[in-house]
Amino acid sequence: MTRASLMGTAAAIIAAAGVALFAAGAVRRQPDVGQFVSAANAADTDAPIYYQDPDGKPLYSSTPKKTPDDRDYRAVPASADIGFDEPGSPPEINATETRADRKIKYYRNPMGLPDTSPAPKKDSMGMDYIPVYEGEDTDDGSVKLSPGKIQRTGVKSEPAELRRIRTLVRAPGTIQLDERRVSVVAMRAESFVQKVADVTTGSRVTKGQPLMDIYSSAVSSAAAEYIATITSKTTAGIEPYGRGSRQRLVNLDVPEPIIAEMEKSHSVPIAVQWLSPRDGIVLQRSAIEGMRAQPGDVLFRIADISLVWANVDVAEHDLGSVAVGQPVTVRARSYPGRDFQGRISVIYPQVNKETRTARVRIELTNADLALLPDMYVDAEIDTGNPAPVLSVADSAVLDTGSRQAVLLDKGQGRFEPREVKLGRRGDGYVEIRDGLAEGDAIVTSANFLIDAESNLKAALKGFADPSNTQGTGVSGGQAMGAKP
């Protein structure tokens, strides 16, 4: 810059500072022009032309002033490199000047466009191109941001730590009966139902509770033979005779307590009382008084629901993390806020080709009989490993689909991209299998903005190559081979 342009710039900045003071209420009245030092005179005498907040805040004054904590405003002379950039940004110097430690490499477009120049120039709006110094763009792929930009973009970092990643697989399903706990009461010979107990569908019954009275000629004949065998002087006490007659009653499914009562009373009842084979709920009652029951006809169907199954549909892509024995939390939609604990007992060896899910069976205890067959439930399968693994926040990962990377915070505003290998995800964290060490500071917020800044600087570095610039600014379209 020439001395005349410097004075012109100083005058423009003074005007901008006056407007800012008026808008902020710092100046209550129109400033007197006589209060400002002449720009030309100030350039010769190096006198202050305005005063700025000592902390670098955008607060200015045309006269000496103090902060609320009684500190003096900083005097800004005309010879200073005046600007309202972020604190800590490198001051601009002339293209022909060389500092002891740095030198201007090229100039970039002030609006961030992919356009650079090896010499000072202005854009179409009259704004000066911004110089880029040696050391500001490194060859290690890192990017450096000023403290002000870091604060504005909300950059946050946290260390990579060992954590237990709890991965949950969620699947819907229904409650089903345990097939091993269902019993059917059916006759094995032609019979007649003489009486039915006060038991209906949905009734809870206990093992040994009377269900109905049955008359069967086959049962009566076998019972009479057995009584005659055990009471006859000839056959009494002879084991093969008694055992064979008793076995005929067992084969006809006569309840054991009824057989024991015959042995005790030595009498054959006209109608045999049929008992419930287990505790449970009556799912079906077909027995009607006076009906004729053929062999195999189901008269009662009873199920024990103290232990039930939850059959859930697990998505195909989650099958690899599901195994028999894993703990499961089941929530019934009928009981919000209540959890039922169980474990996976079976993974069915078939995938539904339409829904791309596989059936998984979960065994659940149902002591209070709250879970009923065909009730809708939602299952959460804990597939996580109890051992802690190195992990970072899920938001820290930049995933392109084929590659995954994080931004390593190296301090002093410098960030370096690091490619990583990922593992399991859960609870907002992702496992890092390769690429990081415990304690590495990783950017977890605003990393996409830093990544965009890195890509821009990499592009500008390519545009600044002497083989591309040829002494003039190179636009992004020309650099990419686009037609003008």
Q: Is residue 300 part of a domain?
A: no
Q: Which of 26, 47, 77 is the last residue of a domain?
A: 77
* Token pair of 211 as six digits: 């269900």
**pLDDT score, position 458:** 57
Are 317 and 173 members of one domain? yes
Task: Region of 411 please: left (phi>0), alpha (psi -120 to 50) or beta.
Answer: left
Average pLDDT value for residue range 323-337: 92
Average pLDDT value for residue range 464-473: 45
Higher pLDDT, 464 or 361: 361
Are 37 and 51 members of one domain? yes
Q: Each residue of 197-224: b (16+ CB within 10 Å) or e?
A: bebeeeeebeeeebbbbbebebbeebbe
The yes-or-no verdict on residue 22 having pLDDT over 60 is no
Provide the residue range defining the domain that includes 450: 143-162+387-463
pLDDT band (50, 70, 90) for residue 136: low
Q: Which residue has the tokens 């229904």?
A: 174
Are 16 and 69 members of one domain? yes
* CATH code of the domain in which 247 resides: 2.40.50.100
For 306-310, 360-364, 418-422, which range has the lowest pLDDT when averaged over its residues? 418-422
Task: Write the CB contacts of 222 (distance below 8 Å, at least 6 apart in sequence).
Answer: 245, 248, 249, 252, 254
* CATH code of the domain in which 440 resides: 2.40.420.20
pLDDT band (50, 70, 90) for residue 109: confident
Q: Is residue 472 part of a domain?
A: no
The segment with the largest mean pLDDT, out of 21-30, 154-163, 328-337, 441-450, is 328-337
Residues facing 385 on adjacent strands: none
Q: What percent of the chain has pLDDT over 90?
A: 33
Q: Each residue of 52-79: b (16+ CB within 10 Å) or e?
A: beeeeeebbbbeeeeeeeeeebeebbbb
**pLDDT score, position 235:** 63
How far, rounded to the nearest angstrom, does the alpha carbon of residue 317 sit from its chain's CA centroid? 15
Residues facing 399 on adjacent strands: 404
Number of separate domains in the chain: 4
* CATH code of the domain in which 331 resides: 2.40.30.170
Q: Which of 365, 382, 399 is the last residue of a domain?
A: 382
Query: Would the pTM count as exceeding 0.75?
Result: no
pLDDT digits (tens, 9 = 90+) for 385-404: 778 889 998 888 888 777 88
Q: How many CB atoms lie within 10 A of CB 169?
A: 21
Are 364 and 425 members of one domain? no
Are 174 and 317 members of one domain? yes
pLDDT digits (tens, 9 = 90+) for 46-59: 677 778 888 777 67
Q: Is residue 227 part of a domain?
A: yes
Average pLDDT value for residue range 293-297: 93
Q: One-letter amino acid identity for 344?
A: I
Q: Is residue 92 part of a domain?
A: no
Instruction: Compute the Cα dihedral for 286, 290, 291, 292 and give only its sign.
Output: positive
